[in-house]
Amino acid sequence: MTANQPNTQFIIHRGSHQIGGNCVELATRNARILIDCGLPLDYDEQDVETQNEIRENARKWLQNCDAVFLSHYHADHYGLLNEAPQGTKVYATKETAELMKISGMFGEDLTEYLDIHPIEDTVTIKDFRVTKFDVDHSAFGACAFLFEVCGKRILYSGDIRLHGKKGVLYKNLPQNVDYLFLEGTNLGRGVRQKTETAIENEFVKQFSSNPDSLHLVWCSSQNIDRIVALYRACVRTNRVLGVDPYAAYALELAHQNRQSIPNKTFPSLEIYFPWSFTNWMIEKDRQLVLDLRRGATKLDQTDLPVNPSKYVLLYRPKLIGDLNRYISKTKVCLTNSIWAQYWEQDKSEINRLKAWIEDKPGLRQKLPDIHTSGHADVASLQKIVEHVQPKCIVPIHTEMPEKYKKLFQSYTVLAVTDETTIDLTNTKE
Ligand SMILES: [Zn+2]
Ligand SMILES: [Zn+2]
């Protein structure tokens, strides 16, 4: 920042008019920090030139920044951190910091070259005093951040919801802030979101009404709350939950932070080792696979066709080829517990899975989805705003920033476009 620029400013680099890919810059004359540095959700659909441009921009934003504050471990928030210069300081909750170890399994290990600091409560970076507030979201350890700088209080909601197990956490958020950066993923969807408890009950019903089948459930291996709901449903229906080594690793990391989260030592949880995926993992990190095996109950995949009613497997479409060695003649029910649009993607593994189901309609059936959003519904967003009482709301992580004004009529809404510099010193409130 140069001498004729304002004392305090913010720039939404990305996220003012789209869901995901968040990156916000806060700056004073002495300090510059970033909040999240996410990969746009449609990154894979872009041509190479656009992808290079996205990476180039991220490198620019990350250059010479004093710290990055990471709200949670979802790629649309951390996915461009691998463009950060070596040794960049990153602050995140200890749960998020733990989950970042997973990055090494599928790409560059972020923990190797970033300077990651688990943030317990408050940290001071030059002009900024930053406090984290745990929030409920579909990512384990998600948080909001309060930035106090030059007399201004700025609250960044991160991704947030009220209908998960920890929804009540929003009541801890600070009040009467000057700015609330509020996510609005679900502004276009008028529906009220189901709770995770309702999801657990739906799993119980679905497994009970198809008692003779093996159940395969597709959910994100990092959606720990969902896996907990699934595990509880398995216990209630006398089934064993089988997880692959990747999900077992995510559960292990989460368990180290919260012992109530099921890991390999839990009685109704077993690890199955799909042949090609496990070999791939051994090549990447042999010790990790050995550690996961130690003390775990290994699921005997040859028992799947013998006792299909005994199991529920957490799986991903990519694993179906491996599983088919054992379950090609088994009655299988499949349930999606993910964002519905993933099922519509034109990806080879999804097309192969669809063909696999259609190949034997008498044996394989896709049951209704069981899912709820990781993001607040409209009524919940209103509750958050009523609690926080911000002087000004800044829309982010939304395709509909124009809807905020209608929804929050008694509040000031500052809808900005990406890459616009906003002077916080002179903004009318
Ligand atoms: Zn997000
Ligand atoms: Zn998220």
pLDDT score recorded for residue 2:
52
CA of 19 to the centre of ligand 2 (A): 10
What integer is the mean pLDDT of 407-419? Answer: 97
pLDDT score recorded for residue 429:
43
Would the pLDDT of 1 be above 90? no
CA of 233 to the centre of ligand 2 (A): 24
pLDDT score recorded for residue 278:
94
CA of 101 to the centre of ligand 2 (A): 17
CA of 347 to the centre of ligand 2 (A): 22
Nearby residues for ligand 2 (ion, Cβ within 5 Å): 74, 159
User: In one letter, which amino acid is 2?
Assistant: T
**DSSP structural state of residue 295:** T
Q: What is the CA radius of gyration of the chain?
A: 22
pLDDT score recorded for residue 189:
79
Confidence of residue 377 (pLDDT cuts 50, 70, 90): very high
Confidence of residue 428 (pLDDT cuts 50, 70, 90): very low
pLDDT score recorded for residue 388:
98
Structural domains in the chain plus CATH codes: 8-190+374-423 (3.60.15.10), 196-366 (3.40.50.10710)
Would the pLDDT of 75 be above 50? yes
Per the model's pLDDT, the better-predicted residue between 125 and 257 turns out to be 125
CA of 158 to the centre of ligand 2 (A): 8
Alpha helices in 345-418 (DSSP H): 348-359, 378-388, 403-407
What integer is the mean pLDDT of 184-212? Answer: 94
pLDDT score recorded for residue 381:
97
Ligand positioned closest to the Cα atom of 39: 1
pLDDT score recorded for residue 302:
97
CA of 200 to the centre of ligand 2 (A): 21
CA of 20 to the centre of ligand 1 (A): 5
Choice among 142-156, 231-245, 281-295 with the minimum mean pLDDT: 281-295
What integer is the mean pLDDT of 253-272? Answer: 94
Report CA 272 to chain centroid distance, whole Å: 24
Q: What is the pLDDT of residues 12-50, one digit of tens each?
A: 999 999 999 999 999 999 999 999 999 999 999 999 999
Q: What is the pLDDT of residues 163-189, one digit of tens each?
A: 998 999 999 999 999 999 999 999 987
CA of 291 to the centre of ligand 2 (A): 29
- Burial of 344-379, coded b for 16+ CB within 10 Å and e otherwise, reads eeeeeebeebeebeeeeeeebebbeebbbbbbbbbe
pLDDT score recorded for residue 322:
95
Q: What is the pLDDT of residues 267-318, one digit of tens each?
A: 999 999 999 999 999 998 899 899 999 999 999 999 999 999 999 999 999 9
